[in-house]
Amino acid sequence: MSDPLFDLLRRVDTPTVCNAIEVAQGKRGFDDFTRGTMRASDPAAPAMVGYARTARIQAVNPPEEPPDVIRARRMGYYKYMAEGPRPGVAVVQDMDVPNAIGAYWGEVNTNIHKAFGLSGALTDGVMRDLGDLPEGFAVVAGSVGPSHGFVHVIDYDQPVEIFGMKVTPGALVHADRHGAVVIPTDVVPRLSDAIAQLFKSEKIVFDAVKGKEIDFAQFEAVWAAFEASRT
């Protein structure tokens, strides 16, 4: 079922969401976003948005537990990813970072998770099979690599951290080629209005400067109007 807020969030980029959160909160200082440069499987794809389904993986070394334990955990992980509120986003921390080698997100896993109804995957780990990933399932990852190594699930439904951003299960996440942000729960009811206000304020500047030349006096007047519109 379509939801106006989620439809809107898919149309705007993650920097816009970060700015809108500050508009809604009436101050700067919000910091629940990723640090550093991330890689998008399809930079032109719409943003992914959804409630976090979290997990942790490793791949450098093979698992030491018995195969039946590993398999049971893997199946438990897939069951967990197949359930929960939608829209959903798989948020998977790679415990081998900064030496991650195992591409958990390739053609097979992306198609499985898309079939589960998830909107995309956010990870500090590795992705592969670029060009063969399913349309409509974005991956925002820490790196690109050719092999899955000994990748295996350690746990799931626990807090994780992606590029300095802490994510608890069920947190509302927005991500695109710029990185990701966790949207505070108390901001959600005001977010649509905050985005509209942000666009209205920015239009004051864009109408004055895009494709035009202005002097400093004109800029001062424009900037004063811009600042007034944000308060």
pLDDT digits (tens, 9 = 90+) for 79-95: 999 999 999 999 999 99
Q: Phi/psi at 96 (nearest 5 deg)?
A: -85, -10
- pLDDT, one tens digit per residue, over 146-166 is 999 999 999 999 999 999 999
The CATH number that applies at residue 132 is: 3.50.30.40
Looking at the fold, whether 218 and 145 belong to one and the same domain comes out as: no
Q: Phi/psi at 17 (nearest 5 deg)?
A: -65, -45
- pLDDT, one tens digit per residue, over 93-128 is 999 999 999 999 999 999 999 999 999 999 999 999
Looking at the fold, whether 102 and 172 belong to one and the same domain comes out as: yes
- Report the amino acid identity of residue 190: R
Q: What is the pLDDT of residue 229?
A: 84
- pLDDT, one tens digit per residue, over 179-231 is 999 999 999 999 999 999 999 999 999 999 999 999 999 999 999 999 888 76
Pick from 136, 193, 140: nearest CA to 165: 140
Q: What is the pLDDT of residue 2?
A: 64
Looking at the fold, whether 59 and 118 belong to one and the same domain comes out as: yes
Q: What is the pLDDT of residue 231?
A: 60
The Cα angle at residue 61 between residues 133 and 92, in degrees rounded to 5: 40
Give a yes or no: residue 2 inside a domain: no
Give a yes or no: residue 18 inside a domain: no
State which residues form the domain around 197.
Answer: 190-229
pLDDT at 134 over 80: yes
Instruction: Taking the CA atoms of 38, 40, 43 and 47 in sequence, report the sign of the dihedral they define.
Output: negative
Give a yes or no: residue 145 inside a domain: yes
Q: What is the mean pLDDT of residues 19-34?
A: 94
Q: What is the pLDDT of residue 21?
A: 97
Q: What is the mean pLDDT of residues 162-173?
A: 98
Looking at the fold, whether 132 and 85 belong to one and the same domain comes out as: yes
Q: Spell out the residues 6+ positions from residue 110 whose beta carbon is closer than 8 angstroms to its own.
A: 121, 129, 133, 134, 137, 139
Looking at the fold, whether 68 and 177 belong to one and the same domain comes out as: yes
Q: What is the mean pLDDT of residues 124-138?
A: 97
Query: CB of 104 within 8 A of CB of 57?
Result: yes
- The rounded distance, in Å, linking the Cα atoms of 17 and 34 is 13
pLDDT at 12 over 80: yes
Q: What is the mean pLDDT of residues 29-50?
A: 96
Query: CB of 201 within 8 A of CB of 230?
Result: yes
pLDDT at 76 over 70: yes
Give a yes or no: residue 67 inside a domain: yes
Looking at the fold, whether 205 and 169 belong to one and the same domain comes out as: no
Looking at the fold, whether 135 and 80 belong to one and the same domain comes out as: yes
- Give the model's confidence band at 1: pLDDT under 50 very low, under 70 low, under 90 confident, else very high: very low
Domain count, the chain: 2
DSSP state string for 72-101:
HHHHHHHHHHHSSSSSEEEEEEETTTTS--
Last residue of a domain, one of 168, 183, 198: 183
Give a yes or no: residue 42 inside a domain: yes
Looking at the fold, whether 179 and 65 belong to one and the same domain comes out as: yes
Q: What is the pLDDT of residue 73?
A: 97
Looking at the fold, whether 130 and 52 belong to one and the same domain comes out as: yes
Looking at the fold, whether 139 and 196 belong to one and the same domain comes out as: no
Looking at the fold, whether 37 and 130 belong to one and the same domain comes out as: yes
Looking at the fold, whether 119 and 81 belong to one and the same domain comes out as: yes
Give a yes or no: residue 46 inside a domain: yes
